[in-house]
Structure 1
Amino acid sequence: MSIRSIRARLAADPALGAGNVLATRIALGEGLDEPLLTFDTPVDDHAAWQPFTLRELDLAVRSRAAALHGLGIGRRDPVVVWSTAAADHVLTFLAAARLGAIPALLNPNLDGEKAALYIQRLRAVGILTDAEHRERLAGRDAGAPLLPDIASLGLGDPAQAPEPYRHWGGDPVAITHSSGTTGLPKAVVHSHDSLYAAIRYRLALPRPQGSERMLSALPAPHAATLIISNLVMSQHAQLAVLSSQTGAGVLDAIERWQPGGVIGFAATWADLARHDLSERQLDSVALWWNTGDCAHEAHIRRLIATGSRESVSREGRVREPGSVFVDGLGSTEMGHSHFFISHSKDSNRYGRCVGRPHAFVDCAVLAPDGSELGPHEVGELGTKSPTLALGYWNDSVTTYRTRVRGYFLTGDLMYRDEEGYYYHVDRAVDSVDLGGGHRLFTSMSEERVLAACPDVLDCTVVAVREDGAVVTDVLLQLVPGADPEADRTKEVTAALEEHTAATVRRVLVVPDERIPLGPTGKVRKILLREQHLAESAAASAALAGSTAGAASTAGTGSTAGAAE
């Protein structure tokens, strides 16, 4: 059976979903001994970077399903997975799905206090961790028992694994969490159908060049990792999953594994841009695939200048320099990017354009009262899609507050043009009302600064309200070798809209550690604003103390002089 035939059969199977892709592929009996999934850490009897075939993957999953079953984990049981290795998340998800259980995947970068509070709210039946994360929970009440070390699941007897659970479309199959940039992460629950809806759509399309061998630089516990894992199983491609998403680590993995495509988040592309990409062996990459937050033009242009793609010429098929970057906009709750746009060296539609919506998406830009706005009017994105998550686990209040007229409110401020292209300007929580019909959009401002200042690697705009007025500090992270002492104020303010530029108080070059990041690498702007307010208050207090001391000293000196 050809790959095309496998794709067609899977796309036409109404019972297929995120919970039973592996079992369905095994039942087809095709391609069982071809390489499929690769992990960057040792797994059972596999060394790091040794690929699992479909047959070997099924064996590893059945071993874990048997072990979980032996621990009493069964249908509808939420079980926490908190581990550093990407393999633990992917394999435990597949094993839990076989049982009809609900794995709750936690980002390994969460701190122990926040993780314990998050787990309490889940009301999980147990916690699977590695040694590092078990230590982080020591002395904390997570409201659930610690189960045996997650590595021990591979010792289960695959022959004792129960038969695969038969999923209904609305069955919950996973809980993942939001980025946590505004506080405690929200627990998002995905269904059998919702996590597969976009895959079914993609199976009917031609495979993009580079997608036959993909490297995942996504956080392993994210919904996007579950989607890409099921996608490669459905179209019988190859996937290597990384446990860390640092720029240096991703570049090393590209050189080692030679993928045709790399999928990741905007934070990783920014980190890659810190490196001299011309010195790295990136020729194998034809496709960069972004999901989550849309990417900045400055970072996209650096990437599409690398890699190579096949094209047809008079001499036949040839490989030419340059790659394609597929951008979009998605979130944990969306379940899959809802927009897409392709960038190559010949394209020029930027300005935070996220493209047009996928065919499975019905979206609108909404006013605060829920009415639909017209072209070029900024409002909140509302979207309807079969990929949407069911809601927030154990949190009906937040679930229903994010719904209006059947739309899910994403929290993104956007507008569309007359051609149907959508543009992302900011997160609603990060924009600031300047009065007079003007707003300050931090994300769009950062885009403008990066596009105008080639020696700026990354930019964070922090707007705070002080004494009734909005003041803005622009924090710059520079490319290696750039002069940190140069005054870039004029260049930065010239790039901004006039009403935004008028609020700029300072343009500062800052070290990387000055920018607080969430577990997925997003800037925690709310925390950054709080830090700025605290620093400003401390500076004002220090200045006031210094001024008072100087006045006191000056008064004493004057009196003494008069006396003399």
Structure 2
Amino acid sequence: MNGTNIRARLAADPELGAGNVLPKLFEHGADPEGPGATFDVPVDGHPAWQELTLGRLRERVAARAAWWHARGIGPRDPVAVHVSASADCLLNFLALTWLGAIPALVNPHIPGDIAAEYIRRLRGVGLVTDQEHRERLAGQDLGIAVHADAAEAGTGDPAQAPAAYRHHPDDPIAITHSSGTTRMPAAVVHSNGSLFAATRLFRLSAPRARGAERILSALPAAHAAGISALNMALCFRSDLLFLSTQNDGDAVVRAIERWKPTGVFGFAATWTQLARQDLSTRDLDSVSLWFNTGDCAHEPHIRRLVAVGSRETATREGVRRTPGSRFVDGLGSTEMGHSAFHITHSKDTERYGRCVGVPHGFAEVALLDTATGREVPVGEVGQLGLKAPTLAPGYWNDSSATYRNRLGGYYLTGDLMYRDEEGYYFHVDRAVDAVDLGGEWLYTAMTEERILAGCPDVHDCTVVSMEVGGRVVTDVLLALYATADPGADRTAAVRAALTGAAAATLRSVVVVSEADLIVGPTGKVRKFLMRQRHRAQTAAV
């Protein structure tokens, strides 16, 4: 059966969701010899970089389902998955959802003490780790009954796997977590329906997007976006390579050169790393699509990416492959479940300035004055409120956090945005990062965007504002490309990127090294901690 027929059958199945795509594919007659998944690490004796067909993927998942089932794991049992390899993470996700259990995927880069406390707060019944993470958690009382070795979990007998659990749309199928802006990540629950809603509502019923034939995912496997990428590729019957690393730009480029994907999926942090490479010297012609989710991407990084690759273009002579690729940007979060906005960039587009485009058809958005609950007018900044079937039901074991960010039926994402007369939305900052200058605001994210656009030799920056002697002062921390002159004075260019009110607070422009950047588990610069450290350092001077 071809991919189009399979998608039609899947689209018509009301029980299909984020937790049962694999068994549903077989229920609807998918070819076992068709595409399953490829990983960059060996798994169960299967070599790295060689595809697991759909049938072989099902066998490896069934082996783990049988192993977990034999140890008493069943419906509604939370099981933490704390491993490095994308294969170990996603195969255990598929196996646990096969049983109706709730895999809690833990980012492999979280420090051991944070991971231990996070796992304790889950109050789960099981945990699977690899050797590295067992060592990180050694000596910790995690309060779990079953602690599995990732390698051992794959030794189950596939024939002993029970029948796949029948999910209801409201059933919890995963717990993922936020990046943890301060210290402890928030545990976000996803349901069978919510994490699949975007795929169901506008992807399955449409032709497969150009560039989605052969997908390389540089998304974290332990993230909601990683689950969605896996499910989308399976439903589309696309080839999929899932990397285990996202924060090494050269490694991602080498993977593209080796595997020749048509589409590359990732977060903004990955594009930052790729943009630091000299892409003009690399073999990226296979790529026609870059797909971003999470934080919106930076204009200079997008421009470097769309300048390479190639895409099919309709001409008078017919369809031709022309130089240059497309970049699909948006804005999403763990809690949103899927990007709520979308915009497509190419070499010829000019709508930047942190424009995230227009809302998806499934997303009802409002920019709110949180003091009154009313929508702000066009051109005025408000906090993003979202109503969408993609929204996560809440936070695991934390009803207070679940309801704290609700207003007038909307989920408050914490993002500050404005809308222009044409209906395009622009992201200016996170609410926790914006600085009140006494009637005017310093929006740090928008300021950083303007600095990057105005300083071509800067690849990342962080704006730090603090109160000194009763007034706000601002320091700008710059991370430079390797070819940049670290001694050059960029103060004038930085000042020009600031609003008048913000420029009046500018105290210093400081060049920092790569080692000075504090990054979170997904590779995102942790600006909260960067600012906190800088304030402490400058206060001590």
In 1, Cα distance between equivalents of 2:498 and 2:535: 23
Equivalent residue for 1:293, pick from 288, 292, 295: 295
Q: Deviations over 1:163-202 (max 9, x none)?
A: 0101111000000000112221000000000011011121
Structure 2 match to 1:100: 100
In 2, Cα distance between equivalents of 1:141 and 1:411: 34
In 2, Cα distance between equivalents of 1:5 and 1:26: 13
The one-letter amino acid of 1:525's match is K
Structure 1 match to 2:31: 31
- Point out where structure 1 has 5 or more consecutive residues left out of the alignment: 540-564
Are 2:13 and 1:16 equivalent residues in the alignment? Answer: no
> Which SS does the other structure have where 1:56 is aligned?
helix
Equivalent residue for 1:478, pick from 477, 480, 483: 480
Structure 2 match to 1:76: 76
In 2, Cα distance between equivalents of 1:496 and 1:239: 43
Shift of 1:206: 2.5
In 2, Cα distance between equivalents of 1:108 and 1:54: 26
For the Cα contact (< 8 Å) 2:268–2:296, is it kept in 1? Answer: yes
> Which SS does the other structure have where 1:167 is aligned?
coil
Equivalent residue for 2:436, pick from 409, 413, 433: 433
Kindly report structure 1 stretches of 4+ aligned residues shifted beyond 6 Å.
none
In 1, Cα distance between equivalents of 2:353 and 2:463: 16
In 1, Cα distance between equivalents of 2:369 and 2:512: 37
In 2, Cα distance between equivalents of 1:289 and 1:223: 15
Structure 2 match to 1:270: 272
Structure 2 match to 1:159: 159
> Which SS does the other structure have where 1:148 is aligned?
strand
Shift of 1:260: 0.2
Structure 2 match to 1:558: none
The one-letter amino acid of 2:421's match is E
In 1, Cα distance between equivalents of 2:516 and 2:169: 45
In 2, Cα distance between equivalents of 1:145 and 1:133: 17
For the Cα contact (< 8 Å) 2:38–2:242, is it kept in 1? Answer: yes
> Which SS does the other structure have where 2:154 is aligned?
helix
For the Cα contact (< 8 Å) 1:26–1:54, is it kept in 2? Answer: no
Structure 1 match to 2:60: 60
Shift of 1:467: 2.5
> Which SS does the other structure have where 2:330 is aligned?
strand
Shift of 1:466: 2.2
Shift of 1:315: 2.9
CA RMSD of aligned residues (A): 1.0
Structure 2 match to 1:417: 420
Structure 2 match to 1:552: none
Aligned 1:274-353 pairs, distance under 5 A: 274-353=276-355
In 2, Cα distance between equivalents of 1:11 and 1:214: 21
Shift of 1:351: 0.4
Q: Deviations over 1:37-75 (max 9, x none)?
A: 100000113100110111111101100000011111111
> Which SS does the other structure have where 2:147 is aligned?
coil
For the Cα contact (< 8 Å) 1:181–1:523, is it kept in 2? Answer: no
Structure 1 match to 2:45: 45
Shift of 1:462: 1.4
Are 2:506 and 1:488 equivalent residues in the alignment? Answer: no
Query: Quick check: which has more Rg, 1 or 2?
Result: 1
In 1, Cα distance between equivalents of 2:25 and 2:319: 33
Equivalent residue for 1:514, pick from 502, 511, 516: 516
The one-letter amino acid of 1:473's match is D
Are 2:171 and 1:171 equivalent residues in the alignment? Answer: yes
For the Cα contact (< 8 Å) 2:114–2:183, is it kept in 1? Answer: no
In 2, Cα distance between equivalents of 1:242 and 1:375: 41
The one-letter amino acid of 2:387's match is K
Equivalent residue for 2:396, pick from 393, 396, 402: 393
Shift of 1:28: 2.0
Structure 1 match to 2:380: 377
Shift of 1:404: 1.1
> Which SS does the other structure have where 2:294 is aligned?
coil
Q: Deviations over 1:497-544 (max 9, x none)?
A: 1111111111111101212111112222221222112111221xxxxx
Shift of 1:146: 5.4
Structure 2 match to 1:443: 445
Aligned sequence identity (%):
62
Shift of 1:145: 4.3
Q: Deviations over 1:461-507 (max 9, x none)?
A: 11222222211111111122111001100111012111111111111
For the Cα contact (< 8 Å) 1:475–1:509, is it kept in 2? Answer: yes
Are 2:534 and 1:532 equivalent residues in the alignment? Answer: yes
Shift of 1:253: 0.5
In 2, Cα distance between equivalents of 1:195 and 1:113: 29
The one-letter amino acid of 1:235's match is F
Equivalent residue for 1:452, pick from 454, 479, 488: 454
In 2, Cα distance between equivalents of 1:237 and 1:19: 19
For the Cα contact (< 8 Å) 1:181–1:522, is it kept in 2? Answer: no
Equivalent residue for 2:405, pick from 402, 407, 411: 402
In 2, Cα distance between equivalents of 1:503 and 1:171: 51
